[in-house]
Amino acid sequence: TLGFGMTTPATVAGKVFLIVYGLFGCAGTILFFNLFLERIISLLAFIMKACHERQLRRSGLLPPNFRRGPAMSGVGSLVGWKPSVYHVMLILGIFAITLSCCASAMYTAVEGWNYIDSLYYCFVTFSTIGFGDLVSSQNAVYQNQGLYRFGNFIFILMGVCCIYSLFNVISIVIKQVLNWVLKKFECRCCPKCHKSSARLGRRNAITPGARLRRRNISMDTDGQYDSDTEGRRLSGEMISMRELTASNKVSLAILQKQLSETANGYPRNVCINTRQNGFSAGVGALAIMNNRLAETSDSR
């Protein structure tokens, strides 16, 4: 993925071969970079964990004969400990700068470039930008040419792997910073947004995920509410009859009780032998019918 441009295919067969070979070659290269990133992160995590454990042992939080194992517990345990992404970024940055400085010293001595141009070439090459304004190994003759080309190959390979890993870690840091900024903006704009949505919201508007959120709330509370105001939806959500019944159990129960008492002639009492006659008390229209049948059977 460097693409310096000093050597390009000239024939049609060469261009077709480049397309086919580059399709699998670039995919394999990215896979190699990802595996390198995993290994370097694992190595850094192991080293940083060992340093953290040594620091805890010096501070007295860990016993001197402490060993890693599944039975780690207590304040000084390292269960679930992970290195900070900022520390990993700092270590990869130092390693990339050191590698670039060493490679720049070699290019300055062999290619005859000044040190700033060599550093510029290292960044352009290691980051796979590949402008092509400066390209190494283009002279006809070099002193110790084989050794120089081998060193050039090692520096480019290690540099690209290191910069690729550093870019991935930096992307994680950028994501964390953006999430923090968005959360700050959301906290500041939240009251205004809620006010505007409350003014413009319609009662029968459908909110995505409302039924799922309602189901989760009902599972957590077992479908019971302390009052008829709890568990109500916002004005911008559409509810079904089942959800209306579940969210207004108390008020519906009171209403049905009033209907039953009105039908029976309030404050008329229901017959005591209702359960004995096999009729359930219940509420609503079915309860009124059951009470009438209970009274009829009792009179018989």
pLDDT of residue 65: 66
94 part of a folded domain: yes
Domain boundary among 187, 211, 226: 187
Do 101 and 137 have their domain in common? Answer: yes
34 part of a folded domain: yes
254 part of a folded domain: no
247 part of a folded domain: no
| CATH code of the domain containing 169 | 1.10.287.70
Do 55 and 146 have their domain in common? Answer: no
260 part of a folded domain: no
- Is residue 36 within 8 A of residue 166, CB to CB? The reply is no
Do 130 and 36 have their domain in common? Answer: no
Helix 12-59 / helix 85-111 crossing angle, nearest 10 deg: 130
Containing domain of residue 21, as a range? 9-59
Do 88 and 162 have their domain in common? Answer: yes
Domain boundary among 143, 170, 187: 187
Counts for the chain of helices (H) and strands (E), in that order: 8, 0
Do 93 and 54 have their domain in common? Answer: no
**pTM assigned to the model:** 0.59
Q: Which of 9, 6, 7, 4 is CA-nearest to residue 20?
A: 9
Q: Tell me: the pLDDT tens digits for 230-278? A: 445 554 455 555 666 666 665 666 766 776 676 666 554 544 444 444 4
Do 41 and 122 have their domain in common? Answer: no
Characterise 130 by phi-psi region: left (phi > 0), alpha (psi -120 to 50), beta (else): left
pLDDT band at 226 (very low <50, low <70, confident <90, very high): very low
Cα 22 to Cα 138: distance, rounded to the nearest angstrom: 23
210 part of a folded domain: no
Do 30 and 89 have their domain in common? Answer: no
Do 183 and 94 have their domain in common? Answer: yes
- Is residue 3 within 8 A of residue 133, CB to CB? The reply is no
155 part of a folded domain: yes
142 part of a folded domain: yes
- Is residue 267 within 8 A of residue 261, CB to CB? The reply is yes
* pLDDT of 299 over the 60 cut: no
Domain boundary among 162, 187, 212: 187
Quick one: CA dihedral 139, 141, 142, 148, positive or negative? positive
Count of the separate structural domains present in the chain:
2
Do 177 and 88 have their domain in common? Answer: yes
* pLDDT of 143 over the 60 cut: yes
Do 115 and 51 have their domain in common? Answer: no
Do 55 and 103 have their domain in common? Answer: no
- For 43, the enclosing helix (H) or strand (E) is helix 12-59
Query: Which has more confidence, 64 or 205?
Result: 64
- Is residue 291 within 8 A of residue 270, CB to CB? The reply is yes
Q: pLDDT averaged over the chain? A: 75
Cα 238 to Cα 204: distance, rounded to the nearest angstrom: 5
Percent of the chain with pLDDT over 90: 39
